[in-house]
Amino acid sequence: MMSYPRKTTFSRALLLLSALLMLSIITSLGRRGETLKSLPEISKTSEQFSAVAEADMMAQQYRRELLEKRCISTKSLKTFDYLIERPWLLRWLIYNDEHRLMYCYVPKVSCTQWKKLFGILSGVFPNVPFNSINSGHAHEPNLFPSLAQLPEPEIRRRLETYTSFMFTRHPLERMASAYRDKLSPGNTVYRQQYAAKIMGQPNGSISIHNRQNTSLPLDELPTVTFDKFAEWIVRAGPVDLDTNSKKAQHDEHWRPMVDLCHPCTIPYTVLGRTATLDEDARLVLRTANITSVKFPEGYRSATPGVTESLVSTVPSAVLKGVLRHYLHDLFLFGYRPQAVFHENATARDITQNMYEELLAEAMMPHT
């Protein structure tokens, strides 16, 4: 069973530290005979910092407790040994030894920005402004060391001692983002690999490592529709963790998050969400005591605004298969699939009913 630090201990320590800092400031000012007019502002800042830290810790406590409870209820708990014996499951966990930091990257969940930050920390991108780093460069193969490359003792040491984190996103929104990014007319590589297969032979299989599948010229490639993309993913079935699956339907951009980061096995220090990206990113850096770089704030994806319209094109039977495919992502991280429907109340109710049926089939509690 995963164990986490108690929120109350941290909060009391933080409040005590704030009080000692204030006392030190007051004493210093008093000795120099300086005015105390600025003290109310200092006090307010200290209180605000304490409130933010408390809110961050409460959010983390809730997420960890929810995850732990649901991991137990789904019998998804596995040991470190299980992962270590299957190194292909660890390739998404990259690390930085200098800062004792470990990150499980999930494509389409702000991982480009986090990889840029890792590049700055590791010196891969020295003296380069954050926004000037080429996004493609941040995704070059083997740019960052992963746990999959290490011997067992080194894997275990990092899993047990490093500050670790992962970020999640609503599974349907993440799927829509992958579709818009990878299968749009502007992405020639993915369209050449997958477009004909998705639209013509959804039950087919292409190796995710085959980057030379260019049997059709670009102007003859069919337009990939979201409903066919959904059907193609569903027909592949679940990821078999015991084998190093190379099915294209299991590409990392739409593979379930739990199959990338194994949150029921690895007790991440910080469980972040894209919905609270700015706050959670600050928490990661604060927890790891990193002050040399800041995570860029203020970015907002356009995908949430189109997810409803895309998902609405998927037939009910296929949508139920999509929910089954991402069932553990939805359940373990507390996402509700109907939340993507803001205008279509009928679709929202149908989706909620399908989700509850799937939870019942899998013997997962609804709450």
DSSP-assigned letters across all residues of 73-133: HTT----HHHHHT-GGGGTTEEEETTTTEEEE--TTSSHHHHHHHHHHHHTSSTT--GGGS
Residue 117 has pLDDT above 80, yes or no: yes
The residue-averaged pLDDT of 130-141 equals 90
- State the DSSP code for 222: P
Residue 290 has pLDDT above 80, yes or no: yes
* Lowest-pLDDT choice from 79-88, 91-100, 121-130, 175-184: 121-130
Residue 43 has pLDDT above 70, yes or no: no
Amino acid at 6: R
Residue 26 has pLDDT above 60, yes or no: no
Query: Which pair of structure tokens corresponds to residue 342?
Result: 């803001």
- Give the per-residue pLDDT at 217: 72
Cα–Cα distance measured from residue 168 to residue 257, given in angstroms and rounded to the nearest whole number: 7
- Give the per-residue pLDDT at 129: 85
Neighbours of 211 (CB within 10 A): 11
Residue 39 has pLDDT above 70, yes or no: no
Residue 34 has pLDDT above 90, yes or no: no
- Give the per-residue pLDDT at 173: 97
- Give the per-residue pLDDT at 20: 38
**Rounded mean pLDDT of the chain?**
84
Residue 299 has pLDDT above 90, yes or no: no
**pLDDT band per the 50, 70, 90 thresholds, residue 244:** confident
- Give the per-residue pLDDT at 14: 41
Strand-pairing partners, residue 273, are 168
**pLDDT band per the 50, 70, 90 thresholds, residue 52:** confident
* Residue among 65, 114, 111, 112 nearest 285 (CA): 114
**Which pTM was predicted?**
0.82
Residue 149 has pLDDT above 80, yes or no: yes
The residue-averaged pLDDT of 316-328 equals 97
Residue 202 has pLDDT above 70, yes or no: no
The residue-averaged pLDDT of 130-155 equals 93
Amino acid at 149: Q
Share of the chain above pLDDT 70, in %: 82
- Give the per-residue pLDDT at 130: 86
Residue 36 has pLDDT above 50, yes or no: no
- Give the per-residue pLDDT at 48: 66
Share of the chain above pLDDT 90, in %: 61
**pLDDT band per the 50, 70, 90 thresholds, residue 46:** low
First to last CA, the chain: 20
- Give the per-residue pLDDT at 229: 96
- Work out the widest C-alpha separation in the chain, in whole angstroms: 81
Higher pLDDT, 106 or 23: 106
Q: Do residues 96 and 121 lie in contact, with contact meaning Cβ atoms separated by under 8 Å?
A: yes
Residue 21 has pLDDT above 60, yes or no: no
Cα dihedral sign, 345-351-354-358: negative
**pLDDT band per the 50, 70, 90 thresholds, residue 301:** confident
